[in-house]
Amino acid sequence: MAYLGLAPTRLKTYETFVSQVRRYLAGDKLSLEEVAPRAEGAIHGFDGLAAGHAPEASSLVWLRREVPMVLVEVAATGPKTLAMAGRVADRVALVVGADSARVAWAIQTVRSAAQLAGCDPKAIGFTLYASSFRAPETAVGNWNSSGRSSWRVPIRRHGS
């Protein structure tokens, strides 16, 4: 974002966006006021349109209802983003390393936030992203795997 002259988006804005995407994928209609962009200089409203009318709401009209809903996955590292993902995501991609205590902490953070939001914490799926690199010495492997390669493993639900 810095190369575009922009700062990262605020977490609340991201949470709103993820929530809206999930609602679109579920077939919901969102009010135009809710989803209209608020960019500086943008013209809002439909009064000046040549067509003379506007849709009543925003929706994915082409979405086939007989197809199962696409699950929304949020990648998260820190406690605030993990909690946000617990409130609005179907799956959470944990980017917290491979230490089992840290992975357990991240899963608990997500599930606690889901429960506080009135969601089923056991319904959230998880994926773990971790770096790996083959090397003859541990120190060399640790240095080489830093940000250079990764693997993705879906975490199976086992009742915990």
Cα–Cα distance, 147 to 21 (Å, whole number)? 29
pLDDT band, residue 49 (cuts 50/70/90): low
Contact, 23 vs 89, CB < 8 A?
A: no
Contact, 18 vs 72, CB < 8 A?
A: yes
The predicted pLDDT at position 4 comes to 76
Window from 15-29, 63-77, 144-158 with minimum mean pLDDT: 144-158
The predicted pLDDT at position 160 comes to 44
Question: Of all residues in the chain, what percent carry a pLDDT higher than 90?
Answer: 45
Cα–Cα distance, 78 to 6 (Å, whole number)? 21
Tell me: the pLDDT tens digits for 61-98?
888 888 888 999 999 999 999 999 999 999 999 999 88
Q: Which of 74, 93, 70, 76 shows the shortest CA–CA distance to 22?
A: 70
> How would you class 21 by CB atoms within 10 Å of its CB: exposed for 0-12, middle for 13-18, buried for 19 or more?
middle
Cα–Cα distance, 15 to 23 (Å, whole number)? 12
Q: What average pLDDT is seen over the chain?
A: 81
pTM exceeds 0.85 for this model: no
16 token code pair:
């709103």
